[in-house]
Structure 1
Amino acid sequence: MGAGNSKPTSEHSQHVFAADAPVRFSNELVDSLQNSTQSDSTRSKNLELQIQARVKSELEKLQAREAAKFSQISEALSDEPAAPEERPLAEKIGDTLTSSTALADKQRKQNISHNSVSKEIVELKKKLEARKKLEQVDPAVEKAKEDVVTCLRTNDRRPLDCWKEVETFRREVGRLEREFVEKTVR
């Protein structure tokens, strides 16, 4: 138990294997192996990196090809008008009994395409932006909110470091709530 050293010696021991038959290598091969800076692990890492790069490039090609197909198909679908479908007899009878405005709305809904919907969305967004806001946000609350957002972005791995900014924001919102309550009670 105590016969051997507990610490390894600083000398590197060499293992020599004896072969049954003499083995001869050319001097060039021995020199290239001795002068090589690569080890098995670095060669395997380089090979793995090359494989990953190739897989990544193939995936990017596939994604580009599929995105092109998708955009081509979506363009074709949005450009072609909807094919008129044969409606059931009950629906035709119901149309004759309904008013002309309801019938016009129903026809408009059937003729909606991707382009017309996107145009309507843009128009609605413009209308919403044109509306005036009823109340302007208090500048102190806005500043406190921006401070919280900035702190959370800079400390994205440690959000608990932003407790001061959050507390300031809560105080400002509480002040606004108290002011609102006082205005409504009076």
Structure 2
Amino acid sequence: MGSAASTVSTPVSFSPDLVDALADHALAPETPPERQAELDAHIRARIQTELHHLRAEEQAVRDQIHAALEKENLDREHAMAGDPDAVKAAPALLADLEQVRVKVDRFHARRDLAEYPALREHIEAVVACYKNNPAAPLDCWQQVDKFKASVAEMEQQHIKSLQ
């Protein structure tokens, strides 16, 4: 009575349309384009949020570094001055800077050769000679000697003025 199961072997075949539809479905993304666009927008928003957060942290770290360096510089200035109250304030430093600027301007004014017309003439003579004799600059030896003599004379006058 039928203790043995009867098996019927029937070949199974699928239509080519069904096989193509299943293959297309396997190759196609599982998420529909609308859902993928939502996911992409959500991911972009989270990336932007994280980027904003990281930039804020970076700025905080920079501020801490700046404050630490400023404190270190002030401590170094205090140590160099010996007396913590001896460190100059910004207006005092600007005044010192202005004094240095005035001294530099005075130096440049002294360097001007308006006070020494003979020296200026000798310089111009040497320059003119070199321009007129580009192929034979050794022909300018007389102008160069006069210039050297003027410089030596000016140096002597300066040394006498210092004494």
TM-score using structure 1 length: 0.33
Higher RCO (C-alpha 8 Å, min separation 6): 1
TM-score by length of 2: 0.37
